[in-house]
Structure formats: structure tokens, C-alpha cells
Amino acid sequence: MSISVLVVLYNSAVNDVSVLQTALHSQQVSDIVVCDNSDRKNDNAEQAACHNITYISMNGNKGLSKAYNAGVVRCRGDIVCVFDDDTQVDGDYFNAVSELTESSQKWDIALPIVMTGDKVLSPSHFEKYRTIPVDPSHVGDMADLTGINSGMAVRRSLYDRISYDSNLFLDLIDHQFILDARKVGANIVVLKGSRLHQSYSLENDSLKMQESD
């Protein structure tokens, strides 16, 4: 199985995004796609070309959902690993994704454990309309398991059935994507063997979920 890496940028430089540097040095990664939501002039197209990275300018900040959807179209791998530009990743992540694809476990979306400082940010589960982080010491494949976009590994075939809700600009697109995936029978599991680190606070991701139909 081949792995594509999809990263959305917002006013950051290709050369400064650590996950891109990790992906470029990973033997498991077959191609990298960058969607640039920046609203400032930059030379990211030139930087991407130097690294043989597929570059897509969104011509301003069109929101995460539209950027992800545009990037998925250009991904060639069997697995698409989605990242924000501020996630810290090491090589163990791509090893873990490869091991999962080679296992007999049935899955369509794999959620890694993502930390912010010493707190768990993702995965999480729903309590009423709020997401609560799951204790990684006993995390399991919960019926209401959800998580943030960054670090999510998705089978490319799932994107043939669903896409990110383009009506959502930023907030809740990750949780809505997982809800839509469950509606088409997708299996959501926890990616074991790697931990990612995110720079923003846990409190900022405690978002109220609207009641789904």
C-alpha cells in the first residue's frame, strides 16, 4: 500500500513545516500534496517544486474543508494521511500506518494519539454534544470514537464515497467527516505505536457538536 501525505498551509512556509520534512525522509510516503490557504504572498510554489511536492494554491483562505477536498483529488496513494501545518510528527507515525495496512484489522480511518503538552487532544468521544479526550492507556475502538483531522489516516477508497463538508469553514469538519464516514459503514480505529504533538491548547478544541440528523 502506498501512502500520500496531504498538508494544508496557512501563512506558513513549505520549508518550515516539520511534518513535510519528516514525510520527505520517509520511505513509506509515495507522494506529498500541499494545499495553500495563505492570504499573504509567498514563494511556497517554488519551495514545493524543489522537493517534488505537488502544490495547489487555493488563492486565499478558502477554509480547511475545501482545501482538503482539493488536495485529496491529487493524492495518488492507497492511504491519505492528512495534516495541519503545526503538527509535530516523527518517523514512527508512518511506520505505524504501514503496519496497520499490513495487518488483518478492518479499518477505513485511523486516528493517532495526539498530545498538546502533557494532555491528550485526540482521539476523543462524545458526551452529549461535547467531545471529551480518551485516556490513551485504555483507548479502544469506541462506538462514538472521533478525533481531529491532523494525523488522520484515511483509505483513499473512502473519499470515493464521502468528502469534507464544504459548508464548514474550519470548526467541526473533522467530527462531521467521521460522522459521515460512519453513515456509509466506515470503520474507525485507533492508530497505535505513535504519538503526535499539536501546538494549540486542548481547551480551544473543546467544541460543542450540533445534533446530527
DSSP string, 23-39: HHT-TTEEEEEEEE---
Closest CA to 165 of 68, 37, 33, 45: 68
pLDDT 10s digits, 64-123: 999 999 999 999 999 999 999 989 888 799 999 999 999 999 999 999 989 888 888 888
Do residues 173 and 207 lie in contact, with contact meaning Cβ atoms separated by under 8 Å?
no
pLDDT 10s digits, 12-56: 999 999 999 999 999 999 999 999 999 999 999 999 999 999 999
Give the amino acid at 164: Y
Angle at 22 between CA 58 and CA 37, to 5 degrees: 10
Collapse the DSSP code of 188 into the 3-class scheme (helix H, G, I; strand E, B; otherwise coil) and give the result.
strand
Contacts of 96 (CB under 8 A, 6+ apart): 112, 191, 192, 193, 194
From first CA to last CA, the distance across the chain in angstroms is 35
C-alpha torsion angle, residues 14, 17, 22, 28 (rounded to 10): -60
- What strands lie across the sheet with 124-127, from one edge to the other? 130-133, 124-127, 145-146
Query: Which cell numbers in the block locate residue 162?
Result: 464521502
What is the per-residue pLDDT for 164? Answer: 94
Percentage above 90 pLDDT, the chain:
62
